[in-house]
Structure formats: C-alpha cells, structure tokens
Amino acid sequence: MDIKNLLTESKARFNHNSAKAYLAEKFKSKLILAEQGGLWKADAETISLLNSFTSANLVLIDTFNSPVKVDRQQLLEKLQQTYDTTMEQWYTEWKEIENKR
C-alpha cells in the first residue's frame, strides 16, 4: 500500500512532539565535531567561552573530559561555522514541522 493511503486510511496524526525529539536527536549529533585533537560540541556554551578569551591558545575540556590545548581563534571559527550551518538546517526543518499544525 502507498504510504499516503496508509496514513489516510489509518487516520494517523502527525506527532509534533516526536518530530521535535527526532530533530533534536538528529541535529545534536551534527553539532559534534573533532578538531585539534579533541571532540567538541558546537553549542552556545563552548562558543561563548572561546569568545570570552583573548589569548591565542587556550586549554579546554573536550567532550571526552580530556584537557586539550587549542588555537582559540581557529576552533572558534570552526565551531561557529558548524553551529551556523547546523542550526539553519534545524530551523528550516522545524519550520516545516510547525507548518503542519
């Protein structure tokens, strides 16, 4: 049976909460990246921390709980880039789901 017919005939409802959880699951993994010998999450906290320093190098605790000495500006740029791209995609897919209301 065609999937559209199946959904219609079973009177299936779109579940926004599950869709939201699925997007979070998908995009959280896309925010993770390996760089300069550490594993990072391109989240607001890490980006803000990198932004709040001015030194060229900085020791950060990565997601494996290991201290890693990083080139601050280089890591900041990489995380910002990943954050931007991923969050834009997340937002676009979220808006599509919102429109199903």
For residues 59 and 49, give the distance between their C-alpha atoms in angstroms, rounded to a whole number: 11
Q: Quick one: which of 59, 64, 67, 92 contacts another protein (CB under 8 A)?
A: 64
- Altogether, the residues listed in the chain come to a count of 101
Please, which residue, 15 or 51, has the CB nearer to another protein? Answer: 15
By CB under 8 A, tell whether 87 contacts another protein. no
SS3 2: coil
For residues 11 and 40, give the distance between their C-alpha atoms in angstroms, rounded to a whole number: 43
By CB under 8 A, tell whether 69 contacts another protein. no
By CB under 8 A, tell whether 44 contacts another protein. no
Report residue 70 as tokens: 């990083």
By CB under 8 A, tell whether 81 contacts another protein. no
Q: Quick one: which of 5, 11, 67, 92 contacts another protein (CB under 8 A)?
A: 11
Please, which residue, 28 or 56, has the CB nearer to another protein? Answer: 28
Which amino acid is it at 45?
A: E
